[in-house]
Amino acid sequence: MFTEILAPYDGSKNADRALGKAAKLADLTGANVTVLTVFRHHSMLEASLSMVRVQEPGSIDNAMREHATQIANHGKAMLAEAGVKNVRAFVRSGRPARMIVEFAEKHGTDLIVLGSRGLGSGDGYLLGSVSHKVTGLSKCPVLVV
Amino acid sequence: MFTEILAPYDGSKNADRALGKAAKLADLTGANVTVLTVFRHHSMLEASLSMVRVQEPGSIDNAMREHATQIANHGKAMLAEAGVKNVRAFVRSGRPARMIVEFAEKHGTDLIVLGSRGLGSGDGYLLGSVSHKVTGLSKCPVLVV
Protein backbone atom coordinates (compact mmCIF):
# COMPACT_ATOMS: atom_id res chain seq x y z
CA MET A 1 0.00 0.00 0.00
CA PHE A 2 3.04 2.26 0.45
CA THR A 3 6.10 2.06 -1.78
CA GLU A 4 8.03 5.27 -1.09
CA ILE A 5 8.11 6.51 2.48
CA LEU A 6 9.64 9.89 3.24
CA ALA A 7 10.88 10.32 6.80
CA PRO A 8 11.83 13.94 7.59
CA TYR A 9 14.33 13.67 10.41
CA ASP A 10 15.83 16.27 12.72
CA GLY A 11 17.35 14.03 15.37
CA SER A 12 14.74 14.83 18.03
CA LYS A 13 13.13 12.16 20.20
CA ASN A 14 9.86 12.46 18.32
CA ALA A 15 11.70 12.10 15.05
CA ASP A 16 13.31 8.93 16.44
CA ARG A 17 9.88 7.55 17.27
CA ALA A 18 8.64 8.46 13.82
CA LEU A 19 11.60 6.63 12.25
CA GLY A 20 10.67 3.57 14.29
CA LYS A 21 7.17 3.60 12.81
CA ALA A 22 8.55 4.21 9.34
CA ALA A 23 10.80 1.16 9.75
CA LYS A 24 7.88 -1.04 10.79
CA LEU A 25 5.71 0.19 7.93
CA ALA A 26 8.58 -0.45 5.51
CA ASP A 27 8.88 -3.96 6.92
CA LEU A 28 5.15 -4.58 6.41
CA THR A 29 4.90 -3.06 2.96
CA GLY A 30 8.37 -3.47 1.47
CA ALA A 31 8.54 0.28 0.90
CA ASN A 32 11.76 2.23 0.38
CA VAL A 33 12.51 4.82 3.02
CA THR A 34 14.12 8.19 2.36
CA VAL A 35 15.46 10.20 5.27
CA LEU A 36 15.34 13.95 4.73
CA THR A 37 17.00 16.51 6.98
CA VAL A 38 16.18 20.13 6.23
CA PHE A 39 18.23 23.02 7.56
CA ARG A 40 17.54 26.69 7.21
CA HIS A 41 19.77 28.60 4.86
CA HIS A 42 21.81 31.43 6.33
CA SER A 43 19.77 34.10 4.57
CA MET A 44 16.74 32.98 6.52
CA LEU A 45 18.59 33.41 9.76
CA GLU A 46 19.91 36.88 8.96
CA ALA A 47 17.24 38.63 10.97
CA SER A 48 18.20 36.81 14.12
CA LEU A 49 21.88 37.30 13.45
CA SER A 50 21.70 40.95 12.56
CA MET A 51 23.12 41.98 15.92
CA VAL A 52 26.17 39.84 15.36
CA ARG A 53 28.94 40.76 13.01
CA VAL A 54 29.27 37.74 10.80
CA GLN A 55 32.68 37.57 9.17
CA GLU A 56 32.01 34.62 6.94
CA PRO A 57 28.34 33.95 6.35
CA GLY A 58 29.27 31.02 4.12
CA SER A 59 30.91 29.22 6.99
CA ILE A 60 27.61 29.18 8.90
CA ASP A 61 25.92 27.47 5.97
CA ASN A 62 28.71 24.97 5.77
CA ALA A 63 28.53 24.20 9.47
CA MET A 64 24.77 23.82 9.31
CA ARG A 65 24.95 21.57 6.29
CA GLU A 66 27.56 19.43 7.98
CA HIS A 67 25.47 19.13 11.10
CA ALA A 68 22.38 18.29 9.04
CA THR A 69 24.35 15.64 7.15
CA GLN A 70 25.36 14.00 10.41
CA ILE A 71 21.73 13.93 11.52
CA ALA A 72 20.53 12.49 8.21
CA ASN A 73 23.21 9.80 8.30
CA HIS A 74 22.27 8.95 11.87
CA GLY A 75 18.65 8.50 10.78
CA LYS A 76 19.75 6.34 7.87
CA ALA A 77 21.84 4.16 10.19
CA MET A 78 18.89 3.76 12.59
CA LEU A 79 16.68 2.54 9.77
CA ALA A 80 19.33 0.15 8.49
CA GLU A 81 19.75 -1.25 12.00
CA ALA A 82 15.97 -1.70 12.19
CA GLY A 83 16.22 -3.91 9.14
CA VAL A 84 15.04 -1.56 6.39
CA LYS A 85 16.74 -2.63 3.18
CA ASN A 86 16.32 0.36 0.90
CA VAL A 87 17.28 3.52 2.72
CA ARG A 88 18.58 6.78 1.34
CA ALA A 89 19.39 10.04 3.10
CA PHE A 90 19.20 13.57 1.75
CA VAL A 91 19.98 17.02 3.10
CA ARG A 92 18.23 20.13 1.86
CA SER A 93 18.15 23.75 2.94
CA GLY A 94 15.00 25.82 2.98
CA ARG A 95 11.75 26.23 4.83
CA PRO A 96 11.18 22.84 6.44
CA ALA A 97 7.48 22.21 5.71
CA ARG A 98 7.56 23.48 2.13
CA MET A 99 10.81 21.68 1.41
CA ILE A 100 9.43 18.40 2.77
CA VAL A 101 6.26 18.62 0.67
CA GLU A 102 8.18 19.68 -2.44
CA PHE A 103 10.67 16.85 -1.99
CA ALA A 104 7.81 14.37 -1.53
CA GLU A 105 6.15 15.47 -4.75
CA LYS A 106 9.38 15.23 -6.72
CA HIS A 107 10.32 11.81 -5.43
CA GLY A 108 7.02 9.95 -5.75
CA THR A 109 6.52 9.69 -2.00
CA ASP A 110 3.24 8.01 -1.06
CA LEU A 111 3.60 8.39 2.70
CA ILE A 112 5.34 10.99 4.86
CA VAL A 113 6.13 9.86 8.41
CA LEU A 114 7.19 12.57 10.85
CA GLY A 115 7.24 13.47 14.52
CA SER A 116 4.44 15.60 15.90
CA ARG A 117 6.91 18.00 17.46
CA GLY A 118 10.61 18.57 17.26
CA LEU A 119 11.30 19.75 13.75
CA GLY A 120 11.78 23.46 13.78
CA SER A 121 10.95 23.89 17.44
CA GLY A 122 14.39 25.31 18.01
CA ASP A 123 14.25 28.18 15.56
CA GLY A 124 11.20 30.21 16.29
CA TYR A 125 8.47 27.87 15.12
CA LEU A 126 5.52 27.13 17.31
CA LEU A 127 5.67 23.58 18.57
CA GLY A 128 4.38 21.18 16.03
CA SER A 129 3.90 23.72 13.30
CA VAL A 130 6.02 21.82 10.80
CA SER A 131 3.89 18.70 11.15
CA HIS A 132 0.76 20.86 10.92
CA LYS A 133 2.00 22.60 7.81
CA VAL A 134 3.08 19.36 6.18
CA THR A 135 -0.29 17.71 6.82
CA GLY A 136 -1.97 20.80 5.40
CA LEU A 137 0.21 21.07 2.29
CA SER A 138 0.92 17.45 1.44
CA LYS A 139 -0.83 15.74 -1.43
CA CYS A 140 0.01 12.30 -0.04
CA PRO A 141 -0.96 10.77 3.33
CA VAL A 142 1.01 11.93 6.37
CA LEU A 143 1.57 9.86 9.50
CA VAL A 144 2.20 12.10 12.50
CA VAL A 145 3.88 10.13 15.29
CA MET B 1 2.50 -2.56 14.96
CA PHE B 2 -1.08 -1.31 15.23
CA THR B 3 -3.83 -3.22 17.04
CA GLU B 4 -6.65 -0.70 17.47
CA ILE B 5 -7.29 1.71 14.62
CA LEU B 6 -9.79 4.51 15.09
CA ALA B 7 -11.31 5.85 11.86
CA PRO B 8 -13.31 9.05 12.41
CA TYR B 9 -15.78 9.11 9.55
CA ASP B 10 -18.12 11.83 8.28
CA GLY B 11 -19.05 10.37 4.91
CA SER B 12 -16.95 12.85 2.90
CA LYS B 13 -14.75 11.76 -0.02
CA ASN B 14 -11.61 12.30 2.02
CA ALA B 15 -13.08 10.22 4.82
CA ASP B 16 -13.76 7.46 2.27
CA ARG B 17 -10.12 7.57 1.18
CA ALA B 18 -9.03 7.45 4.80
CA LEU B 19 -11.22 4.39 5.40
CA GLY B 20 -9.54 2.73 2.43
CA LYS B 21 -6.12 3.25 4.02
CA ALA B 22 -7.43 2.08 7.38
CA ALA B 23 -8.69 -1.12 5.73
CA LYS B 24 -5.32 -1.80 4.12
CA LEU B 25 -3.45 -1.14 7.35
CA ALA B 26 -5.86 -3.45 9.20
CA ASP B 27 -5.19 -6.11 6.58
CA LEU B 28 -1.43 -5.74 7.02
CA THR B 29 -1.43 -5.62 10.81
CA GLY B 30 -4.55 -7.55 11.84
CA ALA B 31 -5.77 -4.51 13.74
CA ASN B 32 -9.40 -3.94 14.76
CA VAL B 33 -11.02 -0.87 13.23
CA THR B 34 -13.51 1.36 15.01
CA VAL B 35 -15.54 3.82 12.97
CA LEU B 36 -16.50 6.96 14.88
CA THR B 37 -18.98 9.55 13.63
CA VAL B 38 -19.21 12.70 15.71
CA PHE B 39 -22.09 15.12 15.42
CA ARG B 40 -22.47 18.45 17.12
CA HIS B 41 -25.02 18.58 19.91
CA HIS B 42 -27.88 21.04 19.52
CA SER B 43 -26.58 23.28 22.27
CA MET B 44 -23.45 23.90 20.21
CA LEU B 45 -25.52 25.01 17.27
CA GLU B 46 -27.73 27.39 19.23
CA ALA B 47 -25.81 30.44 18.15
CA SER B 48 -26.36 29.70 14.49
CA LEU B 49 -29.98 28.79 15.09
CA SER B 50 -30.83 31.75 17.27
CA MET B 51 -32.69 33.48 14.45
CA VAL B 52 -34.92 30.47 13.99
CA ARG B 53 -37.71 29.62 16.35
CA VAL B 54 -37.04 26.04 17.26
CA GLN B 55 -40.18 24.32 18.50
CA GLU B 56 -38.58 21.09 19.51
CA PRO B 57 -34.85 21.32 20.02
CA GLY B 58 -34.77 17.65 20.94
CA SER B 59 -35.95 16.65 17.51
CA ILE B 60 -32.93 18.29 15.91
CA ASP B 61 -30.65 16.20 18.09
CA ASN B 62 -32.57 13.09 17.17
CA ALA B 63 -32.39 13.84 13.47
CA MET B 64 -28.67 14.57 13.70
CA ARG B 65 -28.02 11.42 15.67
CA GLU B 66 -29.97 9.37 13.17
CA HIS B 67 -28.05 10.89 10.27
CA ALA B 68 -24.74 10.29 12.06
CA THR B 69 -25.74 6.69 12.71
CA GLN B 70 -26.41 6.14 9.02
CA ILE B 71 -23.00 7.57 8.18
CA ALA B 72 -21.25 5.42 10.80
CA ASN B 73 -23.00 2.30 9.55
CA HIS B 74 -22.05 3.14 5.98
CA GLY B 75 -18.42 3.41 7.05
CA LYS B 76 -18.66 0.10 8.88
CA ALA B 77 -20.14 -1.57 5.79
CA MET B 78 -17.37 -0.16 3.59
CA LEU B 79 -14.72 -1.63 5.87
CA ALA B 80 -16.47 -4.99 6.01
CA GLU B 81 -16.65 -5.05 2.22
CA ALA B 82 -12.93 -4.25 2.10
CA GLY B 83 -12.33 -7.40 4.10
CA VAL B 84 -11.74 -6.00 7.59
CA LYS B 85 -12.85 -8.63 10.08
CA ASN B 86 -13.22 -6.73 13.31
CA VAL B 87 -15.17 -3.53 12.74
CA ARG B 88 -17.31 -1.57 15.15
CA ALA B 89 -19.13 1.71 14.67
CA PHE B 90 -19.91 4.38 17.24
CA VAL B 91 -21.74 7.68 17.22
CA ARG B 92 -20.92 10.47 19.64
CA SER B 93 -21.98 14.09 19.97
CA GLY B 94 -19.58 16.87 20.88
CA ARG B 95 -16.69 18.84 19.53
CA PRO B 96 -15.23 16.64 16.81
CA ALA B 97 -11.49 16.90 17.49
CA ARG B 98 -11.76 16.67 21.26
CA MET B 99 -14.26 13.85 21.07
CA ILE B 100 -12.06 11.88 18.68
CA VAL B 101 -8.99 12.23 20.90
CA GLU B 102 -10.96 11.44 24.06
CA PHE B 103 -12.52 8.39 22.45
CA ALA B 104 -9.10 7.21 21.26
CA GLU B 105 -7.64 7.47 24.75
CA LYS B 106 -10.54 5.57 26.32
CA HIS B 107 -10.50 2.78 23.77
CA GLY B 108 -6.81 1.97 23.60
CA THR B 109 -6.45 3.31 20.06
CA ASP B 110 -2.89 3.13 18.76
CA LEU B 111 -3.55 4.77 15.40
CA ILE B 112 -6.10 7.34 14.25
CA VAL B 113 -6.72 7.44 10.48
CA LEU B 114 -8.68 10.40 9.17
CA GLY B 115 -9.22 12.56 6.11
CA SER B 116 -7.22 15.76 5.77
CA ARG B 117 -10.38 17.73 5.06
CA GLY B 118 -14.05 17.06 5.27
CA LEU B 119 -14.86 16.58 8.90
CA GLY B 120 -16.41 19.73 10.23
CA SER B 121 -15.91 21.70 7.04
CA GLY B 122 -19.65 22.13 6.81
CA ASP B 123 -20.23 23.81 10.10
CA GLY B 124 -17.99 26.78 10.36
CA TYR B 125 -14.62 25.10 10.74
CA LEU B 126 -11.71 26.12 8.64
CA LEU B 127 -10.83 23.42 6.16
CA GLY B 128 -8.77 20.75 7.75
CA SER B 129 -8.94 22.12 11.26
CA VAL B 130 -10.28 18.89 12.71
CA SER B 131 -7.35 16.90 11.37
CA HIS B 132 -4.98 19.62 12.56
CA LYS B 133 -6.49 19.63 16.02
CA VAL B 134 -6.48 15.87 16.26
CA THR B 135 -2.82 15.64 15.27
CA GLY B 136 -2.03 18.32 17.84
CA LEU B 137 -4.03 16.77 20.69
CA SER B 138 -3.61 13.05 20.08
CA LYS B 139 -1.27 11.00 22.21
CA CYS B 140 -1.12 8.24 19.59
CA PRO B 141 0.05 8.44 15.95
CA VAL B 142 -2.33 10.01 13.45
CA LEU B 143 -2.44 9.18 9.75
CA VAL B 144 -3.88 12.07 7.77
CA VAL B 145 -5.05 10.90 4.35
Please report the DSSP string for B25-90 in residue order: HHHHH--EEEEEEEE--HHHHHHHHTTS--S-HHHHHHHHHHHHHHHHHHHHHHHHHTT-SSEEEE
Q: Closest partner residue to A143 among B28, B131, B143, by Cβ? A: B143
Indicate the pTM of the whole model.
0.86
Chain A residue closest in CA terms to B141: A145
The C-alpha of B58 sits at a distance from chain A's nearest C-alpha, in angstroms, of 36
Architecture per CATH, A4-144: 3-Layer(aba) Sandwich (3.40)
Q: Closest partner residue to B135 among A21, A138, A144, by Cβ? A: A144
Residue A135 near residue A84 (C-beta atoms within 8 A): no
Residue A12 near residue A118 (C-beta atoms within 8 A): yes
The C-alpha of B89 sits at a distance from chain A's nearest C-alpha, in angstroms, of 23
Report pLDDT for B125: 38
Report pLDDT for B30: 96
- In chain A the first and final C-alpha atoms are separated, in Å, by 19
Chain B residue closest in CA terms to A23: B1
Judged against a pLDDT cut of 90, whether residue A25 lies above it is answered with yes
Report pLDDT for A43: 59
pLDDT tier, B129 (very low <50, low <70, confident <90, very high otherwise): confident
Residues of B in contact with A29 (CB under 8 A): 28
Optimal mutation site among A24, A112, A144, A145, interface B, most CBs of chain B within 10 A: A144
Instruction: Residue window 107-126, chain A: list those with CB within 8 Å of chain B.
Output: 116
Cα–Cα distance measured from residue B60 to residue B62, given in angstroms and rounded to the nearest whole number = 5
The answer to whether residue B134 neighbours chain A at the CB level (below 8 Å) is no
The answer to whether residue A135 neighbours chain B at the CB level (below 8 Å) is yes
Q: What is the mean pLDDT of residues A110-138?
A: 74
Nearest to A130 by CA among A21, A31, A10: A10
Q: How far is CA B125 from the centre of its chain?
A: 15
Q: Closest partner residue to B145 among A116, A132, A141, by Cβ? A: A141
Q: What is the mean pLDDT of residues B82-100?
A: 95
Mean pLDDT of all residues belonging to chain B: 86
Whole-complex ipTM: 0.84
Instruction: Residue window 27-86, chain A: list those with CB within 8 Å of chain B.
Output: 28-29
One DSSP character per residue, B89-119 reads EEEEES-HHHHHHHHHHHTT-SEEEE-SS-T
Report pLDDT for A79: 98
Q: Identify the residue with better confidence: B16 or A57.
A: B16
User: Is there a contact between B135 and A131 if contact means CB atoms under 8 Å apart?
Assistant: yes
Optimal mutation site among A112, A117, A126, A143, interface B, most CBs of chain B within 10 A: A143
For A71-111, write each residue's pLDDT tens digit. Answer: 999 999 999 999 999 999 999 999 999 999 999 999 999 99
Judged against a pLDDT cut of 60, whether residue A37 lies above it is answered with yes
